[in-house]
Amino acid sequence: DIVMTQSPDSLALSLGERATINCKSSRSILYNSDNKSYLTWYQQKPGQPPKVIIYWASTRESGVPDRFSGGGSGTDFTLTISSLQAEDVAVYYCQQHYETPLTFGGGTKVEIK
């Protein structure tokens, strides 16, 4: 199985600061046929299911604010929140869907300092 390693476990920043979350896969999740990395970022707030915010490593889901961006390819990925807002407090997960079984990072809890 592909192991997803996410860091840091938690992040406390002031409003307006930049948040960066890292995710590393144990093997490449880049499909050569379409040159896409099958990496999804989720945002999860208490009592809600995970919500897709970024897929294919860098494609923002419709309706997601443009302060969220994803980068990386192959095995190393980042999620960036350019200017942290109060409503961004949540746990963020990365997931690979390059192959089954789907596997997830351990999550990063983002809080306001």
Partner 1 sequence: EVQLVESGGRLVQPGRSLRLSCRASGFTFGDYTMTWVRQAPGRGPESVGFIRTQALGGTAEYAASVKGRFSISRDDSRSIAYLQMNGLKIEDAAVYYCSFSRARPYWGQGTLVTVSS
| Residue 103 within binding range of partner 1, rule CB under 8 A | yes
Q: Return the sign of the alpha-carbon dihedral for residues 29, 98, 41, 71.
A: positive
Q: Which is nearer to partner 1, 15 or 99 (CB)?
A: 99
Judged by CB under 8 A, the residue of 52, 64, 80, 89 near partner 1 is: 52
Q: How far is CA 77 from the centre of its chain?
A: 8
Residue 35 beta carbon to partner 1: minimum distance, rounded to whole angstroms:
14
Judged by CB under 8 A, the residue of 33, 49, 66, 86 near partner 1 is: 49
Query: In this structure, what token pair is assigned to residue 9?
Result: 């476990």
How far CA 28 is from CA of 2, 8, 38, 77, 111, in Å, comes to: 9, 21, 9, 11, 30
Q: Which is nearer to partner 1, 53 or 81 (CB)?
A: 53
Residue 14 beta carbon to partner 1: minimum distance, rounded to whole angstroms:
26
Number of CB atoms found within 10 A of residue 90's CB: 20
| Residue 97 within binding range of partner 1, rule CB under 8 A | yes
Q: Which residue has the tokens 């351990």?
A: 106
Which residue type, as a one-letter code, is found at position 102?
L
Q: Which residues bind partner 1 (CB under 8 A)?
A: 38, 40, 49-50, 52, 55-56, 59, 61, 91, 93, 95, 97, 100-107
